[in-house]
Structure 1
Amino acid sequence: MADALRETRDVLVGRAEQQMRAHFGDSKLTTRQKLALTCRILFDGGHDSGLAGQITARGQEPGTYYTQRLGLGFDEIAETNLLLVDEDLNLLAGEGIPNPANRFHSWIYRARQDVNCIVHTHSLHTAALAMLEVPLQISHMDTTPLYDDCAFLKDWPGVPVGNEEGEIISAALGDKRAILLAHHGQLVTGATVEEACNLAVLIERAARLQLLAMAAGTIQPLPEALAREAHDWTSTERRNQANFAYYARRALRNHPDCVTNEVQI
């Protein structure tokens, strides 16, 4: 009999984590390249809503971040047309203007030093769920990275271009990585671009699954202890890197123009 068949769950989990740490690592992509790839990944994943939605990531200098140019869709974002702005959305590098709605990103960055990337979109199924004023319900193993990690803002504060909206949204997010915004859309955060990208893909899938399940019957809850274990197991840096690498390779096949030089992922 194979030795692994006699080993405990904890031993097997520890071994798998060790193997992932040894095998997967940083892709060496720049922040600009990761952001451009994330925009194309999300476009292909159903997050397109015209010019709605923003993506940002902290810059090298404190109080700065990269974002896309207003007027470009997610399918047009490349590493060469991203902007660098300060917290007041003053342009520091690049050509064009940022989306005025980026202001509430500044509030989140100020409140959450652990956040280095924010993705906000009006993706189809999260927007549909938001219309129902129903929180995201996690009841499938694939979506457990969002288990007890997605806040809900029931009150729509209107178009988020003022400081009031920044206060409301950042307060509602609290210490969670994601939030469903009623009558609006979704927002996810990450310690890395990879993490934020993966959660953005996942929250749209979770909303779609929830709408399908609600149409068929009553959603049954996951056992809390097992769901929390799955959340932690699927939320590691190495898993985020591996998932993002897959999404990025797929995006590069569809959108080779989003990066200027050949990259290995």
Structure 2
Amino acid sequence: MTGRILQTALKKALQRGAPLQTRAIVPRVAQAGTETLGGPRPSAAAVRTFTSAGPKPYTVPDSAWGRNRAARLELAAAYRGLDALGLNEGVCNHLSVMAPAADGSDQEVMLVFEYGHHFSEVTASSLLAVDADAKTVEGQGRPDITAACIHLGIRRVRPDAKVIFHTHQPYATTLACLKDPELKMVHQNSTRFYNRVAYDNNYAGLAHAMDEGERLGQQLGSKDIMFMGNHGVISTASTIAMAFDHLYYLERAAELQILAFSTQKEIALLSAEASAATEKQLWDSLTMYADAHYYSMYRRLRKTQPDFEL
């Protein structure tokens, strides 16, 4: 959908009487030298809600604009990184994060890519910021209708979900297509998700209404991951690094499960006790591991696709 068709669909989905409006606030490019690998850590005041307090491969000004810019950098790297790993599909998957508005107001905005763009095309400045009614308030263009309905709808139920990633990654989505989509405890990678996965087996078509996003939020509950029956997966987290790491290891766990069952031999499933114990061990240090993984991808992208920071 493009242009007038997309605008009409969004209006109907959001069930608003007033027309959706676009207010262009194009984020300015950072000054030279403010984002350098190995630069100083941001001050305590610049700690963002979408990222950990650990060292970063970039530095930004200690301001609302700087925090907005940091969110853009990290989200753009997540789009590019998931594409490099082959975990996206067409232009139909979407990642979002809640961040401070760039103009310094008290408003929190949702950053997401513009409809019709491929993950490999996303840059920090090309990301849109939309408000709670899906009105574009930073940048130009509109998000995909399903991105608006799924992400904003879930956050009406789960406002703590600062970061939401939705993909159709192949192995995890394969499990979502089974009558029994349960992620089995077949490997160490599986145990990080022990008791942290929700399942929605009520696929009813594309998410073109905010009510569907709210329903997904209710189905997600307090879990970190949701298998969407006959559709894909959702990863929620408090940081971009963690949501990225979730999707990577969810795919590896799903792949190992499918390969193990394809042998048609008896599977040595981990016990509930071993799964619970390993889950605790992993989560005790998971922020450190997730940061190390995600920022290694960030540095890799700087070498291979440096334009993502534009």
Task: Give the shorter-chain TM-score range.
Answer: 0.7 to 0.9
Aligned twin of 2:245? 198
Q: Please, which of 215, 218, 224 is the counterpart of residue 168 of structure 1?
A: 215
Aligned twin of 2:279? 231
Task: Kindly indicate whether the alpha-carbon contact (under 8 Å) linking 1:188 and 1:200 is maintained by their aligned counterparts in 2.
Answer: yes
Whether 1:94 and 2:139 are equivalent positions in the alignment is: yes
Whether 1:119 and 2:165 are equivalent positions in the alignment is: yes
Aligned twin of 1:48? 88
Q: Could you tell me how far 1:194 is from its partner in structure 2?
A: 0.8
Q: Please, which of 204, 211, 221 is the counterpart of residue 269 of structure 2?
A: 221
Secondary structure in structure 1 of the residue aligned to 2:80:
helix
Task: Kindly indicate whether the alpha-carbon contact (under 8 Å) linking 1:120 and 1:188 is maintained by their aligned counterparts in 2.
Answer: yes
Aligned twin of 2:99? 59
Moved >6 Å (runs of 4+): none
Q: Could you tell me how far 1:73 is from its partner in structure 2?
A: 0.8
- The residue type equivalent to 1:253 in the other structure is K
Secondary structure in structure 2 of the residue aligned to 1:234:
helix
Q: Please, which of 44, 56, 77 is the counterpart of residue 37 of structure 1?
A: 77
Secondary structure in structure 2 of the residue aligned to 1:152:
strand
Take 1:210 and 1:250, find their aligned partners in 2: how far apart are those partners?
Answer: 29
Secondary structure in structure 2 of the residue aligned to 1:119:
strand
Q: Could you tell me how far 1:240 is from its partner in structure 2?
A: 1.9
Whether 1:137 and 2:184 are equivalent positions in the alignment is: yes
Task: Kindly indicate whether the alpha-carbon contact (under 8 Å) linking 2:183 and 2:190 is maintained by their aligned counterparts in 1.
Answer: no
- The residue type equivalent to 2:305 in the other structure is H
Q: Could you tell me how far 1:149 is from its partner in structure 2?
A: 0.9
Q: Higher helix fraction: Structure 1 or Structure 2?
A: 1
Aligned twin of 1:76? 121
Aligned twin of 2:14? none
Take 1:241 and 1:195, find their aligned partners in 2: how far apart are those partners?
Answer: 7
Aligned twin of 2:56? 27
- The residue type equivalent to 1:252 in the other structure is R
Task: Kindly indicate whether the alpha-carbon contact (under 8 Å) linking 1:153 and 1:179 is maintained by their aligned counterparts in 2.
Answer: yes
Secondary structure in structure 2 of the residue aligned to 1:157:
coil
Whether 1:181 and 2:245 are equivalent positions in the alignment is: no
Contiguous gaps of at least 5 residues in structure 2: 1-52, 59-69, 101-105
Query: Is 241-250 or 188-197 further displaced after alignment?
Result: 241-250
- The residue type equivalent to 1:246 in the other structure is S
TM-score scaled by length of structure 1: 0.83
Q: Could you tell me how far 1:224 is from its partner in structure 2?
A: 1.9
Task: Kindly indicate whether the alpha-carbon contact (under 8 Å) linking 2:186 and 2:269 is maintained by their aligned counterparts in 1.
Answer: yes
Cα distance, 1:225–1:113 mapped onto 2, change above 3 Å? farther
Q: Could you tell me how far 1:28 is from its partner in structure 2?
A: 6.0
Take 2:225 and 2:172, find their aligned partners in 1: how far apart are those partners?
Answer: 12
Secondary structure in structure 1 of the residue aligned to 2:126:
coil
Secondary structure in structure 2 of the residue aligned to 1:59:
strand
- The residue type equivalent to 2:279 in the other structure is H
- The residue type equivalent to 2:257 in the other structure is Q
User: What RMSD in Å do the two structures reach over aligned CA positions?
Assistant: 1.8
Take 1:100 and 1:151, find their aligned partners in 2: how far apart are those partners?
Answer: 24
Q: Could you tell me how far 1:144 is from its partner in structure 2?
A: 2.2
Q: Please, which of 142, 149, 154 is the counterpart of residue 108 of structure 1?
A: 154
- The residue type equivalent to 2:84 in the other structure is D
Query: Is 67-76 or 106-115 further displaced after alignment?
Result: 106-115
Take 1:253 and 1:143, find their aligned partners in 2: how far apart are those partners?
Answer: 31
Contiguous gaps of at least 5 residues in structure 1: 1-23, 261-265
User: Deviations 1:113-171 (Å, cap 9, x if unpaired)?
Assistant: 33210000111112222222322223211232212211111111310121231132111
Cα distance, 1:80–1:168 mapped onto 2, change above 3 Å? same
Q: Could you tell me how far 1:251 is from its partner in structure 2?
A: 2.9
Q: Please, which of 146, 153, 164 is the counterpart of residue 200 of structure 2?
A: 153
Which structure has more RCO (C-alpha within 8 Å, separation ≥ 6)?
A: 1
Taking every aligned residue pair, what percent have the same amino acid on both sides?
A: 27
